[in-house]
Amino acid sequence: MAMLKPVPRAAEPPAASLVDGAYRTMRTKILDNEWAPGHRALEQELALELGMSRTPVREALIRLAKEGLVEVVPRHGMRVLPVSAADMDEIYQLLGSLEATAAELVAQRKPAARDIAPLEAASRAMDAALKADDLDAWAQADERFHRHLVELCGNRLLAATVYNFWDRAHRARMFTLRLRPLPVHSTREHTNLVRAIRKGDAAAAREIHRAHRERGRCELTAILQRFKLAQM
């Protein structure tokens, strides 16, 4: 089994409360696969591990459950939710829809050159990483690209929703990073997308991004089937 490397995250302000700390710690452990899918723990155990009482742990768990990262069953504690192949399919459909809309909106807004620059920078970084055979760097640049695109669309609700589903799919993405065909098409697709945005061609931007995610969805589904990874 491939090892999942923790992806370095942006430095965050210190936790404002124990609830906040518990939430962030547990969320990180889940996204980094330190707590594997299916991992179970009782509230009391978590409290002990995190050095606090059950109260803040419970409140953090409610937040994580609402995000779909864990499930809380009375008397069985929390359980890190596995993401099934079917779930991944649904997530990619949903993301395809929302991100395509984001691309459309960005193109409609005809953003200034300095707003487009980070997209181009990310594209170049993906290219360079691919040539240097550095898949981790590639994945980070890819994430930067999509993140900036979603930020640029101006719809904060849409952006927040996209982030939530990225989180749920994070593990599977990292896992399949080295199992799937080299993402040689992605860079081209991103370049095309940027071109459509610069032209203000909203329909093209939407369609390029839709096709981009659709291809990703198919590749992922194929891998999960090939490796019999029904869930992760």
Per CB under 8 A, which of residues 52..81 are in contact with a second copy? 58-59, 62-63, 66-67
The conformation of residue 51, written as its DSSP 8-state character, comes to T
Which position among 56, 111, 183, 216 is part of the footprint of DNA (CB under 7 A)?
A: 56
Q: Does 87 bind a second copy (CB under 8 A)?
A: yes
Q: How far is the CB of 53 from a second copy (least distance, A)?
A: 13
Which residues in 12-41 contact DNA (CB under 7 A)? Answer: 17-19
- For residue 38, which phi and psi values (nearest 5 degrees)? 95, -15
Q: Is 225 in the site for a second copy (CB under 8 A)?
A: no
User: For residues 108-124, b (16+ Cβ closer than 10 Å) or e, as one string?
Assistant: beebeeeebebbeebbe
Taking CB under 7 A as the rule, does residue 43 contact DNA?
yes
Q: Supply the minimum distance, in Å, between the C-beta of residue 164 and DNA.
A: 23
Closest-CA residue to 4 (of 171, 232, 221, 182): 171
Q: Is 118 an interacting residue with respect to DNA (CB under 7 A)? A: no
Strand order in the sheet with 40-41: 40-41, 77-80, 70-73
Q: Give the helix ranges, DSSP H, for 67-182.
A: 85-109, 113-131, 135-152, 156-176
3-class secondary-structure state, position 204: helix
Subset of residues 123 to 182 that bind DNA, contact rule: CB under 7 A: none
Cβ proximity to a second copy, 139 vs 150, nearer residue = 150
Nearer to DNA, 20 or 32 (CB): 20
Q: Is 173 in the site for a second copy (CB under 8 A)?
A: no
Quick note: the x/- pattern for a second copy over 117-156, rule CB under 8 A, is: --------------------------------------xx
Q: What whole-number distance in Å separates Cα of residue 36 and Cα of residue 18?
A: 23
> Smallest gap, in angstroms, from Cβ of residue 128 to a second copy?
33
Residues 6+ apart with CB under 8 A from 7: 31, 32, 136, 139, 140, 174
Residue 80: CB minimum distance to a second copy, A: 18
Please choose, out of 28-36, 70-78, 103-111, 192-200, the segment that lies near DNA by the rule CB under 7 A.
Answer: 70-78
Residue type at 191 in one-letter notation: T
CB 202 within 8 Å of CB 104:
yes
Size of the site for a second copy (CB under 8 A): 23
Assess 48 for contact with DNA (CB under 7 A).
Answer: no
Identify whether the C-beta of residue 205 lies closer than 8 Å to the C-beta of residue 103: yes
**Which residues bind to DNA, rule: CB under 7 A?**
17-19, 42-44, 47, 52-56, 58-59, 72, 74-77
